[in-house]
Chains A and B, each alone.
Chain A
Amino acid sequence: MTKKLIGQVTPEERTEIQTLFERRNGLNELAKILTADNAELYEKLVKDLGETGVRFQRWWNQMAEKYKWESVEGGNWEIDFNTCHIFLVTQ
C-alpha cells in the first residue's frame, strides 16, 4: 500500500466530513442492534443511512472538484482528521 499526500482541506471542511464519518459509523453500529420491531426508529435509521451516505459521497465529489485532486484507478482518497491532509492510497 502506498500513501501520497495530494492536498489539504480547511478545518471547517474537515469538521464537516468528520461529523459525517462519525455519524455514518454510529448509524452502522446502531443497525447491528436495531431490529424492525422498533418500527419508528428502524425506518428513521434506514432513511438516515441512505441520506448520510449520499452526503458523505457528495463531500468527496465536491472537494475533489474544488481542489482538483489526483486520482488513479483502484485507488482511494483518505483524510487525516488531525492535519486536514488528503492522501491518495493505492494498493
Chain B
Amino acid sequence: MSFEIAKQAIDYLLDEKRNFQEDGVIWDFIGGEPFLEIDLIEKICNYAKLEMYRRNHKWFNNYRFNFSTNGLNYHESRIQKFIEENHSHLSIGITIDGTKLKHNLNRIYRNGKGSYDDVVKNIPLWQKQFPKEGTKVTISSDDIPYIKESVLHLYDLGIHEIHINCVFEDVWKEGDDKNFEKQLVELADEIIDNDLYKDFSCSFYSEDIGKPLKDNGNWCGAGMMLAVDASGFFYPCLRFAAYSLRSKKPIVIGNVKDGIDQNKLRPFLTLNRTTQSRQECIDCEVAGGCAWCQGENYDAADTNTIYQRSVAICKMHKARVRANNYFWNKLYRKLELQGTRDDFEKNRRKVKPIVC
C-alpha cells in the first residue's frame, strides 16, 4: 500500500463522521507481516494521530493501533522505537502456533528452516511490554493431535490468554470431531488438575457456549468494520477481497476516492441468524457459541450470497460443546469440594472472545 492510499483512507474515515459514529476506532494492520513495513506504518500512524487531533475528532480520545505479527523482528530497534512512541495505544499479538514441532510445521523461512526459535526469543520482551496480550491460534484438521501440548506450551512461555478456534472452511475429515473432543478433554484435565485455570485461560472453554439460542443477531462483524486493500478498494472484511476467496467474485463496497456504496452494505447490516441459517441450526439445542464467518459463508454458498450459512464446522462445534461441558462440570465439582468456588467466581479471568 502506498502512503497516499493510506492517507486517502484515513481522510475518508475522518471526513465521514455521519457514517462512522462509533465512539472509538481500531486501526488494524494486517499483512503479510506488518512489521516488515514499519516505516510506512509509522508514517500512517503519525498521520492518523495528527489528523484526528487537528480535526478535533472524537476518536483522538479513543483509538488503538492493532497488529498481528509473526514476532520475528519484534526486537529490532525500529519496531521498538515505534512501540515506545505509541505504547499506550498499541495492541500487538504475536502468533505462535504451539510447540516447536507444531510451529515449525507451517512457519518456515524460505530456506526451509523453522522460525520457532527466533519467535520464542522475543516472547519475554513482548510479554513484558504487553502483559495482558494473548495469542491467537487457529486449528485445522492436521493440527488436532497437537492441541493439548500446544496450549500447555504457550502457557509455559508465559502467555496467559489463548484465543483459539477451528477454521471455518470445510477441511474436516471423518473422525476429526472425536479426536478434537479427546484433545480438549485431556487439556481440560491438565488445566484443572494442575490448577492452571487460576492464571491462564483458553477460549475453547466458555460457559456461554452450547445452549439453545434465542438471540437473533449476526455472529460475524463483517460490514461493521471497513477493510481497505493496497489499491484503495473497500471491503466489509478482508475475507471478501479477491486474494481471500476461492471461487467467488470479491465484494467491493467502495474505494478511497468515491467512498462507500451504502447499498452494498445494506445486506451486511441487516443480516441475522435465522435469515441465513438452516432450520436445523435455528432449532439446534447447542447453538450458543457456534460461530460463522460471513466471508466463508459467501465463498462456500451455492449462489453469490452471504445469506447461506456454511455448516462445515457443525461437528467440531458439537465436539467442543461436549468437552466444554466436561471442563466446567469437572472444575466446579473440584472447586465445590475445596470450598473455593466463591473465590473462583470473584477472581475469574474474563476472556474477550475473538472470532476470526
The answer on direct contact between A and B (beta carbons under 8 Å) is: yes
* Cα–Cα, bound, A41→B47 (Å): 13
In the complex, which residues of chain B have a beta carbon less than 8 angstroms from the beta carbon of A28?
Answer: 88
Known A25-B88, A41-B54; judge A33-B62 contact (CB<8 A): no
Determine the main DSSP class of B at the interface with A. Answer: helix
| A interface, over-half SS | helix
Contact call B46/A25, Cβ cutoff below 8 A: no
Instruction: Give the total of B residues in contact with A, Cβ under 8 Å.
Output: 14
Which residues on B sit within 8 Å (CB–CB) of A23?
Answer: 60-61
| CB atoms of A22 and B61 under 8 A apart | yes
Chain A contacts of B117 at CB under 8 A? none
Contact call B53/A29, Cβ cutoff below 8 A: no
Residue B53 contacts which of A22, A25, A41 (CB distance < 8 angstroms)? A41
Please give the distance in Å from B134's CB to the nearest CB on chain A: 16
Q: Which A residues lie within 8 Å of B53 (CB)?
A: 26, 30, 41, 44-45
Closest to A40 in B: B54
**B86 at interface by CB-CB < 8 Å:** yes
Interface members, chain B 34-85 (any A CB < 8 Å): 46, 49-50, 53-54, 60-63, 85
Q: Which residues of B contact A22 (CB under 8 A)?
A: 61-62
Residues on B with C-beta less than 8 A from A30 are 49-50, 53
Q: Please indicate which of the listed interface residues A28, A30, A34, A41 has the most CB atoms of chain B within 10 Å of its own CB.
A: A30
User: Would you call A34 and B85 a contact (CB within 8 A)?
Assistant: no
Min CB distance B307 to A, Å, is: 36
* Residue B349 lies at the interface, judged by CB distance under 8 Å to chain A: no
B198 interface residue (CB < 8 Å to A): no
Chain B residues within an 8 Å CB radius of A26: 49, 53, 60-61, 63, 89
Q: Please, how many angstroms separate the alpha-carbon atoms of A41 and B49 in the complex?
A: 12
Instruction: Tell me whether A41 and B61 are in contact (CB under 8 A).
Output: no
Chain B residue contacts of A45, Cβ below 8 A: 53
Q: Which of A19, A33, A41, A44 contacts B46 (CB 8 A)?
A: A33
What separation, in Å, do the CA atoms of A30 and B63 have in the docked complex? 13
A19 and B62 in contact, given A25-B88, A29-B86, A33-B85 (Cβ under 8 angstroms):
yes
- CA–CA, A22 and B46, complex, Å: 17
25 residue pairs bridging A and B, Cβ less than 8 Å apart: A19-B62, A22-B61, A23-B60, A23-B61, A25-B88, A26-B49, A26-B53, A26-B61, A26-B63, A29-B85, A29-B87, A29-B88, A29-B89, A30-B49, A30-B50, A30-B53, A32-B85, A33-B46, A33-B49, A33-B50, A33-B85, A41-B53, A41-B54, A44-B53, A45-B53
Interface residues of A (CB under 8 A from B): 19, 22-23, 25-26, 28-30, 32-34, 41, 44-45
Known: A22-B61, A26-B60, A44-B53. 13 other contacts (CB 8 A): A19-B62, A23-B61, A25-B88, A26-B49, A29-B85, A29-B86, A29-B88, A30-B50, A30-B53, A32-B85, A33-B46, A33-B85, A41-B53
